[in-house]
Structure formats: C-alpha cells, structure tokens
Amino acid sequence: DAGVIQSPRHEVTEMGQEVTLRCKPISGHDYLFWYRQTMMRGLELLIYFNNNVPIDDSGMPEDRFSAKMPNASFSTLKIQPSEPRDSAVYFCASSSNKLAGTYNEQFFGPGTRLTVL
Amino acid sequence: QKEVEQDPGPLSVPEGAIVSLNCTYSNSAFQYFMWYRQYSRKGPELLMYTYSSGNKEDGRFTAQVDKSSKYISLFIRDSQPSDSATYLCAMRTTNAGKSTFGDGTTLTVKP
C-alpha cells in the first residue's frame, strides 16, 4: 500500500489567497484526521471524519478553515483567506476500526508544509 | 493548562545511554497511551501503544503507564544515533477517534 498521500508537499502563497490541501487515505480506512503542527502549539487535531462524515471539528481555528470528504478516498482542507499565522505543517492521517478487538492505529501522511507570506 | 504535558527537552545523550521520556495528563478517561517517533520533515509513526496501566516492552523500548499518577514514560535502552528524532506521546479515551498529543521531545544521540 502507498500509505496516506498528501498534496502538495510544499505550498507558498500570499496572504489573502485560497489554499487547498488534499489527502488520499489508505484504502479501506474509515477514519480520516487533519492535524496542524507548529513549534508553538505542537500537533493539534483540526477535524476528523468517520465514514466520510465529520465527527468533531472543534479544533478548526475559525471560519476561514473548512474540510470536506466527498468520498472514502479523498479529503480536502481549505483555508480562505489565508493568513501568515496559518503557516504550519498540515498532516492527514487515516485509520481503520473495522477489525473488532484490534488496536486502531493512525497512519500519518508526509505532510504539507504551508508558508503564507 | 494543556490536557497532555510532555517534558520539553531537547535531550542530548551519548550513544548507549538509557533515555527516559515522560508525559503527564489530566483526563482520567484516557485509556490508550501511545508513543510516536517523528523524524525531521516526516510524519509521526507509531512506536508503541499501551492499553490502560502497566508496562510494555518491544526490543530496546519500554513503555510504562501509571494511571494512578496520570504519568507515562518511554525508556530507550542502548540508545543509537538512529534514535535521534522527536518523540510524541499521545492519548485517547477510546480505540477509535481523536488522540491528544504532547508537544514532543527532541532527542539527539551522539556517536
């Protein structure tokens, strides 16, 4: 399996522009997570989905952030408009809870390094 | 105050040393306790997990959970330069769903 795939790997944009980050989870996984990592705040959960349905978006910082999961193999995180304080590494992770009695491991993608100038 | 606090480091040790990494937490509902390793410019990878209290050993790595003290530790024996990375503790209340992460401790093992 190719693992969790994220694109782009690097994004540099100017303040006010729209940014879209993409994630393809591991095939068959039913949970998808979006995290943000910064030196100041560490690794923070933004939102997670189960079977394509958003379960907890309490970590989404503000209305400028939105996330969608139109199908089991694709999710997007959009920032509109972007601000310099959004600069961070954004990780997508996926996991499977389909096997009863087994530990539900989260597998992380390589991340998207976002710089907002 | 954060739900999960991790000793900040950074930590620098000579090769072969025993390393101790620690986290404390405030949510008594946490049942699953994980340690992730993150190499520079990579995503975190699960190193070990423990369910409830107790010890778990995997090669040179030992994870300990003391729920009565709300304290978890990761011990690395005979540390190697390849162990140089950031180590993150994480916890969650159920087997699925959200995990809460510590801020990470950066470890450097010098040859």
Find tokens 């470890």 and name the residue: B107
The answer to whether residue A108 neighbours chain B at the CB level (below 8 Å) is yes
Nearest to B46 among A4, A42, A105 (CB): A105
| Interchain pair B96, A55: CB under 8 A | no
**What number is the average pLDDT over the span A109-117?**
97
pLDDT at A1: 64
pLDDT score at B53: 86
Asked whether the bond before A110 is cis by omega within 30 degrees of 0, the reply is no
pLDDT in tens, B69-89: 999 999 999 999 999 999 999
Give per-residue pLDDT as tens, A12-30.
Answer: 999 999 999 999 999 999 9
Using one digit for the tens of pLDDT, what is the confidence trace for A61-105? 889 999 999 999 999 999 999 999 999 999 999 998 777 677 889
Closest residue in chain B to residue A109, using alpha carbons only = B43
Q: Which of A48, A95, A109 sits opposite B43 (nearest CB)?
A: A109
| DSSP structure string for B59-92 | TTEEEEEETTTTEEEEEESS--GGG-EEEEEEEE
pLDDT digits (tens, 9 = 90+) for B27-64: 999 999 999 999 999 999 999 999 888 899 999 999 99
